[in-house]
Amino acid sequence: MGTEIYFDNNATTRPLPEVVAAMSPFLTEFYGNPSSIHRFGSQVAQKIGEARTQVASLIGAADPIEVVFTSCGTEGDNAAIRGMLEARPDKRHIVTTEVEHPAVLGLCQHLEKRGYRVSWLRVNQDGMLDLEELGRSLTDDTALVSVMHANNETGVLFPIHRIGEIVKAKGIPFHVDAVQVAGKIPLKVAESPVDLLTISGHKFHGPKGIGALYVRRGVPFPPFIIGGHQEKNRRAGTENVAGIVGMGEAAGRMQRNLAQEAEGIRKLRDQLEQGLLQSCPDCRVNGRGSDRLPNTSNVSFRYLEGESILVLLDQFGICASTGSACTAGSSEPSHVLRAMGVAPDWLQGAVRFSLSRFNTAEEVRYVNEKVPLIVQRLQGLSALGKLAEEREKARTGGGIGVRG
């Protein structure tokens, strides 16, 4: 097989072999329903309990009972927001940000059409929130605040602790979408002013189709999916046992050496960015001025089309993305970059590289070697690119432009 470099880990990650091995018996001999009284059921229920403890430990929850298994991050986000609205039926106002994942953004737009008032917090050019704007937006009518921990497109990290302090000072429930954070940097939800927190198994080398919602003890939480008594009446439906076991295994493995692994990934990411900034004229890193996830780099190539870059990257065996996998296929420029005020000539040429602990320095070198070739080729093809080249030539007196 030729070169295959996977730099799209914010879209999804490769399940660890140990995760697949841990899941397999729960698709074969341990097929019991965990609600059954007999041994087939109880052995499975016990394993779900172990997975709950592993997931609680990954996010730093005080008690495994605070973990509710869901089918994915999108369900966790929906359950948290709809649950809080149902728990506070007299409140009609939601506070969120302009840069959320569609799982929150789309739901809040939908709720807006149903008569809720939504305050959409803006971000600055570095992708950062204005905490004073947040403070001003909270009213007696605010049902909840929902803010992502890390942006899936740029990796920009919001200061969740400080946001939580502002929100909790007003007694308002606070939900955090931590789908891009769990397994990438350490989390200590028990020590944070957070009521609800969403994560998803496939973002940290677990299986797809399984997620979890942290619900702090004592927070009233009407169920989103109603039916049987599973998950202590908080999420009905026969459990995705193999998925839960796989997510638990991934949670257990990813928290080992998490801080150290994150530093290794950060070095690779920085190497990638430095290489691209030096070798590609008219290239910039979006959100570079903010605290970011260690694995994510969102790079704009001026005047170019991100999708054309992706096609050529794929020909070299390099897999990246233009932004959120959930918005891929739409020709609309990224709502995140637009909210950051990225100018039109930089907007279409954004490419997201997202790394994992399985990437290597050799892979980064390969990408750093191939991207400038792709950029040159596309600039040659693009009339606008030609214009940019001429401008660059005029600026540098004919030499090749280098950006530090």
Catalytic positions, please? 326
For ligand PLP, give the closer residue by CB, 101 or 269. Answer: 101
Q: CB of 200: closest distance to ligand PLP in angstroms?
A: 3
- 101 vs 357, which CB is nearer to ligand PLP? 101
Cβ 332 to ligand PLP shortest distance, Å: 17
Q: How far is the CB of 251 from ligand PLP (least distance, A)?
A: 15
Q: Residue 220 is which amino acid? A: P
Of 303 and 353, nearer to ligand PLP (C-beta) is 353
Indicate the residue among 54 and 154 with the shorter CB distance to ligand PLP. 154
User: Closest CB to ligand PLP among 105 and 375?
Assistant: 105
Which residues lie closer than 8 Å to 200 by C-beta, 6 or more apart? 72, 73, 76, 179, 182, 210, 211, 212
Query: How many residues would you count in the chain?
Result: 404
Residue 202 structure tokens: 């496939």
Q: How far is the CB of 201 from ligand PLP (least distance, A)?
A: 8
Q: State in angstroms the smallest separation of the CB of 202 from ligand PLP.
A: 6
Query: Alpha-carbon distance 67 to 51, whole Å?
Result: 10
**CA nearest neighbour of 319 among 46, 39, 5:** 5
CB of 96 to ligand PLP, least distance (A): 12
Sign of CA dihedral 14, 8, 269, 99: negative
Indicate the residue whose CB is closest to ligand PLP.
73
Contact residues for ligand PLP (CB under 6 A)?
A: 72-74, 77, 101, 103, 148, 152, 177, 179-180, 200, 211, 325-326
CA 94 to chain CA centroid, nearest Å = 21
In the complex, least distance from residue 119 CB atom to ligand PLP, rounded to whole angstroms: 19
Joined tokens for residue 324 = 């959120």
Q: Which is nearer to ligand PLP, 320 or 375 (CB)?
A: 320
| C-beta of 101 vs 302, nearer to ligand PLP | 101
